[in-house]
Amino acid sequence: MGHHTATDGEPITGRYTLERTIGAGAAAVVYEGRDLAFDRAVAVKVYREGASAFARVQHSREIAALAKLRHANLVTLYDGGTETGPDGRTYLVTDFVNGPTLAERLSEGPLAAQEVRDLAAGLAAALAHVHAHGFIHRDVKPANILLEGGRIPRLVDFGIAKALDSTVATATGVVAGTAAYLAPEQVRGESVGPATDVYALGLVLLEALTGQREYPGTAIESSTARLHRRAVVPVGLPWNLTGLLESMTDPDPAQRPTAAAAAAALDAAAEPTSAHTRDRAPAVVAVTAVLLLSCLVGGAALVLANSGANSGANSGANSGPATPSSASATGTLKPTPPDDVVITPSLARPESAVPAVRTQDGGRAGQAP
């Protein structure tokens, strides 16, 4: 690989300028750049001189995966390859996402429940797309999630992505992934699949809610801790996030929901016919019934009053017409506080707010414990 750096001022292939460093790892550096051909901002990953053979494999894997994927919550591949010549640089170009990583955002504190629900829906949909196209990401973590505009999640870094039908095995004794977000089957050295990504996403969402990693410590401490205890999910979360996160972090891969099922459940929970809307419906019906009853009673009173007046005139009675009775609600309907203001069982939506989701083995998950 070549000896060029970002300060050389030489665009990659004469087309992509390197303007500032936005990320760096052992094998590559990521720059914000500019596509001179289309005058647009891009992200350019340039592999370091002397990068290992494994890094070159990562580069090939990332291009192979991104070339087949196109989703609102993923980055889009624009270009990739190696420049010609003895000093040719190996590079990968994607759209530029203007925003922090989720890891950077969480350094400021946990997210509100509404933000986590939106984050979960977007990332679950992205993983469902990845899995449907025959890939698993294997490294879902806050540092690999960009927040476009500080809000819209975009999953990045497919360097260790694996094709589901791949026969290429990871080197003996090497676990691909980041220790804090590994699934139990990864730690045990067993085969991985879509459920592995779902588990990692569950841990990411849990961290977003609590502001803390579920399994902290050294790589060994973190990776082995999940073999001895399940993830602890806060109770009483809205939209049945409690039940969903418990199922996503189930130690048994077969008991986890698919990414598509998780996304569908979260989307259903966001529909207008949610528990919040249904909870208000009886009150509205009750007020309507009272008003209707008021009208009926008033009408009946008027009829009786007229009848009484006529009979009173004949009998010389002094009684006046009856005043129609008035009925109204005893209180004003007030909007229920947003679910993400205070998370308590009293404000949490009923568990039925999220439909049960199908797990990998056809069972049911997403239910309250």
Residues marked as catalytic:
139
Give the distance between the most distant pair of CA atoms in the chain: 120
Burial of 58 (0-12, 13-18, 19+ CB in 10 A): buried
With b for 16 or more beta-carbon neighbours within 10 A and e for fewer, the 292-309 pattern comes to eeeeeebeebeeebeebe
Do residues 181 and 140 touch, judged by C-beta distance below 8 A?
yes
Q: Are 135 and 161 in contact (CB under 8 A)?
A: yes
Residues 6 or more apart in contact with residue 160 via CB below 8 angstroms: 58, 61, 138, 139, 176, 177
Residue written as tokens 């390197």?
A: 18
In the chain, which residue ranges form alpha helices assigned H by DSSP?
A: 53-66, 102-106, 113-132, 184-187, 194-210, 219-225, 241-248, 259-269, 275-315
Instruction: Say how far apart CA 259 and CA 243 lie, in whole Å.
Output: 15
Contact between 160 and 196 under an 8 Å Cβ cutoff? The reply is no
Q: For residues 140 and 154, is the Cβ–Cβ distance under 8 A?
A: no
Torsion over CA of 12, 16, 18 and 20, rounded to 10 degrees?
A: -150
Who contacts 309 (Cβ-Cβ below 8 Å, separation ≥6)? 320, 321
How many CB atoms sit inside 10 A of residue 340's CB? 15
Q: Which residue has the tokens 């977007």?
A: 122
